[in-house]
Each structure stands twice: as C-alpha cells, then as structure tokens.
Amino acid sequence: MYRTYACALALAVASACAKPVVFQGEQTLAIKAEPPPPPAPTPPPARVEVRDNKIAITEKIQFEHDRATIMAVSFGLLDEVAAVIAKNPHIKKIQIEGHASSEGGARHNQKLSEERAQAVMKYLTEHGVAQALLLAKGYGIDKPLADNATEQGREQNRRVEFNIVEQDITKRRVEIDPKTGNEKVIDQNVSAKKGG
C-alpha cells in the first residue's frame, strides 16, 4: 500500500510540473529567439603589401619554362601589385628584380632574369602603373636566397622581387605653442633614396 501511495504521489507531482504556470490575470508568453548571425568570414591574408623598402608578395610570379612569358595564373597577383602601387603615392621608384637558380649557364640565366623583370614591368605599365616609377634589372644567379644544391633551394632562387628604391618619408615634429600650451603637428616630407 505504501508503494502504491508513493507511485500516486510521484504521478501527481509529475503532472503538476508538466503544466505551464500561469499567474493570476496574466498570460503565458511564447519566447521566440532568432539565432545569432554567423560570424563574418575572415578575409584571406593579403598577397601583396608594402613593407619598409619593398613590395612583398606571398606568391611567386609564374613564367613559362625557361622563358620570360608570364603565365595567366599570375595576372591577378600582378593586378594586385599595380593596385598597391596606386594606393601608395609616396613610392617614387620601384626596381623590379629578376633572379634565377644556378641551373643552366650563368650568361643564359642573367639574360633570362633581365627579360623576366622587363616582362613584369611591361605588364604593370600596361595595367596603369606609370613607367617613370619602374626600373627593371636582372641579377641572374648573383643573389640566391637558398642553396642551389637542392631543388627546393633552386625553386626559391627563381623569383621576381619589387624593391622600393625611392620614396617620400613623412617626418612628424610636434611644437608647443608657448601662449596656449597646445601641441601643433608639423609634417615634413623628405625624399629618401635607398643606397646600393
């Protein structure tokens, strides 16, 4: 009998808890919640950016094998280089530098690196960059980044770089007005040329 009483009591409590609680004179409210919006996608890292004395690119400009013909896969990257140059009017002169691995003869690599630098300069001028801003120079095998004894090193050494050789640098000076005590910022533009 005790067991039956306990079961009946448990059923009564459970059924009471299942009913919504309504306060006198009030109505139950339906709660509708919108899920939060999904987080905004993070933009991909920039492939092209100005860093100190160079325009850094995170991808390589691709050329046809042993030629100075730029492959279509690199057109977008070069368009980004042109856009970065346009957004940075303080840049006055950029040297486009072609580099090669040690494969093949030194004279051939010198010529190929010069032709590739010229091809990049031609592409940029055809896409809105003033020719007066650009120089093209080939270094052949003279400035390796990595060991030419490995294929990985040779691949690193085959590259085009964009070095800023002249730019305006803004120097800021602050003066304090002796009468008011307010600070006054004085800007001074100085043209800086990179040596070497």
Domains defined along the chain, listed by start: 48-193 (3.30.1330.60)
Instruction: Output DSSP code: residue 38.
Output: P
pLDDT at 40: 86
* Torsion angles phi and psi, residue 127, rounded to 5: -115, 35
Residues 137, 110: Cα–Cα separation, whole Å: 10
List the chain pLDDT tens, one digit each, 196 residues: 555 555 555 555 555 555 555 556 666 666 677 888 888 888 888 899 999 899 999 999 999 999 999 999 999 999 999 999 999 999 999 999 999 999 989 999 999 999 999 999 999 999 999 999 999 999 999 999 999 999 999 999 999 999 999 998 765 555 666 776 665 655 555 566 765 4
pLDDT at 20: 56
102 burial (CB, 10 Å; 0-12 / 13-18 / 19+) is: middle
Quick check: 70 and 63 in contact, CB under 8 A? yes
State how beta strands 134-138 and 91-99 pair: parallel
Closest CA to 135 of 109, 111, 114, 159: 114
Closest CA to 186 of 176, 175, 177: 175
